[in-house]
Chain A
Amino acid sequence: MNGGIHIALEDLAFYAMGNLRDEERTRIHAHLQSCSECREELSAISGDLTALAVSVEQHPVPPAARQRFLDSLGTEVQAESVSETAPGVTPFPKPASRTAWLPWTIAAALGIGAAGLGVKVNTLREQLHNQSQLVARAQEESVRSQRVVNLLKSPGAQRATLTAAKTPVEPTGHAIYLADRGELIFQGNNLKRLPQGKAYELWVIPANGTAPLPAGVFVPDQSGDASVVMPPLPPGIAAKAFAITIERAEGSAAPSSTPVMSGVPTQGD
Chain B
Amino acid sequence: MEKSHPTGWKHQKVSLMTGSPDNPMGLPPRSMSDAPQRQHIRDESEPKESDDSLLQRVSERDQSAMTKLFDRYGGMVYSVALRVLRDAGSAEDLLQEVFFQLWRNPTSFVSSRGSLGAWLLVVARNRAIDILRRRRPMESVDDYPLSSRENLASEVERGAMMQKVRSVLTVLPPEQRNVVELAYFEGLSQTEIADRTGDPLGTVKTRIRLALMSLRKALQA
Contact = CB atoms under 8 A, between A and B. Distances in A.
> Does B bind A?
yes
A47 B75 contact: no
Contacts of A19: 129, 183, 187-190, 192
A56 B180 CA distance: 13
A266 B1 contact: yes
A182 B10 contact: no
B13 A259 contact: no
Contacts of B95: 61, 65, 69
B141 interface: yes
Contact of A264 (B5, B14, B164, B219): B14
A149 to B, nearest CB: 16
A14 B121 contact: no
Query: In which size bucket is the chain A interface?
Result: 35 or more
A23 interface: no
A85 to B, nearest CB: 13
Interface string B70-102: 110011101110110011100010011001100
B196 interface: no
Interface string A241-269: 11111000000001100111111111111
Contacts of B38: 58
A118 interface: no
Q: Which of A175, A188, A233, A244 has the most CB of B within 10 A?
A: A175
Given A9-B212, A173-B16, A258 B25 contact: yes
A46 B10 contact: no
Contact of A52 (B75, B92, B180): B180
Interface in A26-72: 32, 39, 42-62, 65-66, 68-70, 72
A54 B13 contact: no
A233 B11 CA distance: 14
Interface in A7-22: 8-10, 13-14, 16-21
- DSSP class of A's interface residues: helix, strand, loop or mixed? mixed
B22 interface: yes
A235 B32 contact: no
B205 interface: yes
Interface string A87-121: 00000000000000000000000000000000000
Given A50-B122, A203-B25, A267-B3, 19 more contacts: A10-B190, A13-B212, A19-B129, A47-B114, A49-B184, A62-B88, A172-B16, A173-B15, A173-B16, A175-B14, A177-B13, A211-B34, A234-B82, A234-B86, A240-B24, A259-B25, A262-B19, A266-B14, A268-B3
Interface of A: 8-10, 13-14, 16-21, 25, 32, 39, 42-62, 65-66, 68-70, 72-74, 76-77, 80, 170-182, 188, 203, 205, 208-212, 232-235, 238-245, 254-255, 258-269
23 contacts: A10-B190, A13-B183, A45-B212, A51-B161, A51-B165, A51-B219, A54-B158, A58-B76, A59-B78, A59-B82, A65-B95, A68-B92, A69-B70, A69-B96, A77-B61, A80-B61, A170-B17, A259-B21, A263-B14, A264-B14, A266-B12, A267-B2, A267-B3
